Chains A and B, each alone.
Chain A
């Protein structure tokens, strides 16, 4: 898809979602659920920049979400920062975390990076549990500011903000994919040794991908405290975020930016249905089973299946 077409489609999409958010006939629940679905689009896209393009598996997704969320809380509580500032702040700090973890472990084998990301979740959770300013283990109630811009409800505004963030992150992923960076990351994933000998500065490129990925996960987490009017560690640091952020791109397809979007839209919508009608646990089970199935049988995800189907019908 050319840049012109992409710009056109994404602008149309945003316009459409904006219209939806200011229309009066739409059920409020749509925006509550839609926020979560769009949040997963950001998370899946962010995960894929490091996991799909470079081949480094981040198990510690909640750590980055939490950094985004808690940075937003601190900014809001201390200086009454507006939402945009909270988001930017969350993104910057989460990006810094990505850089830090990368510097520590990206020189080692992939599995050590993955385990280190789990470690970060628990360490940060322990720190937050003992930090009274943000509510510690019991959490913190937050009052939403009165400013709704031109929307009828705060949730509608948050929905549209998340839509913008979703388009933003997909645009970033598309840019990375089509640039030198994407070429280098793919080379690193296929053979790090050969990449290095072909002139690719492998460590630097991995660090860049790690930072971008972390920052995007941070901006996904930053609006959460305002969305819930509440923040607490247990659900924020929930490791289940990882199975979703990992499963969605793998099931959708990791080689192209559209894969995580497909995976996120499908699975997050499924999640909304299953969690409400049956249980949270069943949804995790479904995603887990689908993940294992795809990894074993269809490693290129839905995109790969579509490609094969197209080729066979020629």
Chain B
């Protein structure tokens, strides 16, 4: 029915898309997967990052550079968020479930609505030398913007994986999710560690936002569908698995790409959410989770 060529191109595109989804989900993998914070506002911050990139780009700065410049800003936002969440909810641990979820859900809506009030509902894009043209290999055309995002995504995942396995702080972050008590005995302060982790997660999210607007146009309501994509990747990977995020992203990317090719782009949202439900029902610990 479909030519091998078309399928191959879809898979190729899916790989690029998948790496991008993995990078976009890295922050959530840390905040929710490792730290157990119900961070449903993560996709909203992603879109916020895209809009900040858009705003900065208007001054002529290259979008990738914008993303990098945003990272320290988002790092501080992340720390503030976690500090607030910890003081208000985690510390008191009464009825945290509902309140924490309601808090982050409320924040997501506030961010989305503020973006609409400031920028309007129209789609925004950025321009750069690598946006618009494609690399031609034989019969296949790979858009440069996807390749750029792919490279950034891959490097980001690589850096994060190394950070979490080789550095003291990184390993402490992995440990704090599993055994706070042991960490305290080692002399590390769990709250400071979690704060650091949240800061990193949000900083990465900022750069991911820049990637998002490079890859395609952005609108304020996009945080909703990214709830599906990011949670799908994190659940598919398994909570606590950094390296699994890449594999999970690839699975989602390829699945979405093939569905878009066969059934049309209107079916794309159902792929991530459908895969998510499937995993929750069949194997909630994910592919690599604890």
Contact = CB atoms under 8 A, between A and B. Distances in A.
Indicate if A touches B (C-beta under 8 A): yes
A307 to B, nearest CB: 16
Given A110-B97, A112-B280, A296 B274 contact: no
Contacts of A247: 106
Given A289-B110, A299-B95, A123 B284 contact: no
A285 B110 contact: yes
Contact of A116 (B97, B102, B270, B280): B280
A273 interface: no
A189 interface: yes
A295 B113 contact: no
A299 B106 contact: no
B102 A250 contact: yes
A55 interface: yes
Contacts of B284: 108, 112
B117 interface: yes
A114 B99 CA distance: 13
Contacts of A227: none
Interface residues of A, number: 46
B107 interface: yes
Contact of A57 (B32, B101, B117): B101
Contact of B110 (A108, A292, A299): A292
B274 A119 contact: yes
Nearest to A279: B117
Given A55-B97, A246-B105, A299-B99, A104 B280 contact: yes
Given A55-B95, A122-B269, A126-B270, A116 B276 contact: yes
A165 B290 CA distance: 46
B102 A126 contact: no
Given A119-B273, A189-B95, A288-B110, A59 B105 contact: yes
A281 interface: yes
B46 to A, nearest CB: 16
A153 interface: no
A118 B228 contact: yes
A163 B231 CA distance: 39
A44 interface: no
A119 B97 contact: no
B257 to A, nearest CB: 16
Contacts of B266: 126, 129-130, 137
Interface in A236-294: 239-240, 242-243, 246-247, 250, 254, 281-282, 284-285, 287-289, 291-292
A246 B105 CA distance: 10
A283 to B, nearest CB: 9
Interface string A48-86: 000110010101000000000000000000000000000
A105 B95 contact: no
Contacts of B187: none
Contacts of B88: 296
A159 B106 CA distance: 30
B289 interface: no
B25 to A, nearest CB: 13
Given A104-B277, A119-B228, A119-B274, A55 B110 contact: no
Contact of B276 (A110, A115, A284): A115
Contacts of B270: 122-123, 126-127
A292 B106 contact: yes
A104 B281 contact: yes
Contacts of A125: 269
B273 A51 contact: no
Contacts of B164: none
A292 B101 contact: no
Contacts of B98: 51-52, 55, 57, 110, 250, 254
Contact of A284 (B109, B228, B269): B109
Contacts of A129: 266
Contacts of B38: 111, 114
Contact of A285 (B40, B101, B102, B113): B113
25 contacts: A55-B97, A105-B280, A111-B32, A111-B97, A114-B40, A115-B40, A115-B231, A115-B235, A118-B227, A118-B228, A118-B273, A119-B274, A122-B228, A122-B269, A123-B273, A125-B269, A126-B266, A137-B266, A243-B105, A246-B102, A287-B109, A289-B106, A292-B103, A292-B106, A295-B103
Given A105-B281, A116-B280, 14 more contacts: A55-B97, A57-B102, A104-B280, A110-B98, A114-B101, A115-B40, A122-B228, A126-B269, A130-B266, A130-B267, A189-B95, A250-B102, A295-B106, A299-B95
Interface of B: 32, 38, 40, 88, 95, 97-99, 101-103, 105-107, 109-110, 113-114, 116-117, 224-225, 227-228, 231, 235, 266-267, 269-270, 273-274, 276-277, 280-281, 284
- Across chains A and B, which 7 residue pairs bring their CB atoms closest together, nearest first? A119-B273, A126-B270, A291-B106, A292-B106, A288-B110, A288-B109, A285-B113
